Each structure stands twice: as C-alpha cells, then as structure tokens.
C-alpha cells in the first residue's frame, strides 16, 4: 500500500501498489477514497485498516476472476509482467522476446490468434532459418501460456486441431 496525490484532493490510500505474491501491480493504481492523513492517530489507524481490507478483498476478487483485468498490449505484458518474473531465462530467450516485441508489440494479447502467428511464421521463414523461427514460436507459446488465466482464457498456440491430437502450430 502506498499513497499518491491528486491535485484537487488530499492524500488518499492507493489500491494496487503491488501484489504481495507476484510482486507486481495487478492493475493501474486507483484511489480508495479513504483519507491517508486524518487528524487523529485513532482515525488514521482505522483508515489504514479499512484501506488494507479493501485492498485484500480486491486482490481476492482478482485471483478468483471476479474482476477481469483490463486488456494489455503484448509489449507491455512482455516487458512489465513476463520478463521481470522470469529470472531463469536461457541466454537467447531474452533477446528472442525483444524480437517478438518488435513483431507483436502493437497487438493486444487477446488479438493474437493462430492465424496471425501462422502468417508471421511464413514471413519470418523467408528471412530466418527454420530453427530460429521454431525458437521464436516456442518462446511466444511460453509467454502466452504464462498469460493464462490472468489475461487470456487459453493459449491460442497450444490448442489442438479439431478432431485430431496434432497441435495447430507444428514445428518447421
């Protein structure tokens, strides 16, 4: 929990500073409308307790998917959510994500479909080796898997073809 100011109001307690388990902001900060600086210590303590209760309840609602998170761009997700929480990346995976940001950064996570990835692969194969494109596709699939269930309902690259056990995005 923290504080922030608005130009037309006194200090208020802030919601969504950081999630204690993931160590990231689950949503953009917003005001609790509970004053931070009350005239007496008892009132300040009561306000802090109320703000913490509201914050904890909102986090529980987010984790239970009662409150959906807003749509997020691929570039924002990769740089602010995926990379900071993934410290065990292989050496070339970080640069692969930077390359993916160049290609998919302007899209919302929910806009990435199997058809878009297939078209992207066709253009990439013209300029890169098949093994490199496979690496890009596997890192993209890992990144989209990490976005489930917070931002995506399912990974569009991990889905199987209808009526078969073959993956929609096979290796080149």
- pLDDT single digits (tens) 101-156: 999 989 888 888 888 999 999 999 999 998 889 889 888 988 888 887 777 777 88
Name residue, tokens 């199997």.
Answer: 114
Q: Where in the chain are the domains?
A: 2-63, 74-146
pLDDT recorded at residue 123: 93
Q: How far apart are CA 160 and CA 114, in angstroms?
A: 11
117 vs 41, 58, 165, CA distance in Å? 57, 35, 20
Nearest CA-CA partner of 37 in 19, 57, 51, 23: 51
Give the total residue count for the chain.
172
C-alpha atoms less than 13 angstroms from C-alpha of 102 in its C-beta half-sphere: 7
For the cut 60, the answer to whether the pLDDT of residue 75 exceeds it is yes
Quick one: average pLDDT of 1-14? 56
161: its two tokens: 């073809």
State whether residue 102 is helix, strand or coil: helix
CA–CA gap between residue 136 and residue 38 (Å, rounded): 53
* More reliable by pLDDT, 172 or 50: 50
Residue carrying structure tokens 């596709």: 137
| Report field, pTM of the whole predicted structure over 0.75 | no
Question: What region does 65 belong to: left with phi over 0, alpha with psi -120 to 50, or beta?
Answer: left
């Amino acid at each position: 929990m923290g504080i922030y100011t608005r130009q037309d109001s006194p200090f208020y307690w802030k919601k969504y500073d950081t999630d204690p388990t993931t160590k990231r902001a689950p949503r953009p900060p917003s005001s609790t409308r509970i004053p931070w600086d009350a005239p007496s210590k008892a009132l300040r303590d009561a306000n802090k307790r109320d703000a913490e209760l509201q914050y904890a309840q909102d986090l529980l609602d987010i984790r239970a998917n009662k409150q959906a998170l807003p749509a997020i761009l691929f570039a924002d997700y990769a740089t602010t959510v995926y990379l900071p929480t993934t410290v065990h990346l292989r050496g070339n995976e970080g640069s692969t994500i930077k390359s993916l940001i160049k290609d998919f950064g302007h899209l919302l996570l929910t806009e990435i479909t199997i058809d878009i990835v297939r078209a992207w692969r066709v253009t990439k194969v013209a300029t890169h080796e098949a093994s490199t494109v496979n690496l890009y596709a596997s890192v993209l699939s890992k990144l989209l898997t990490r976005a489930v269930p917070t931002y995506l309902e399912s990974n569009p690259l991990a889905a199987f073809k209808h009526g078969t056990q073959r993956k929609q995005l096979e290796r080149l």
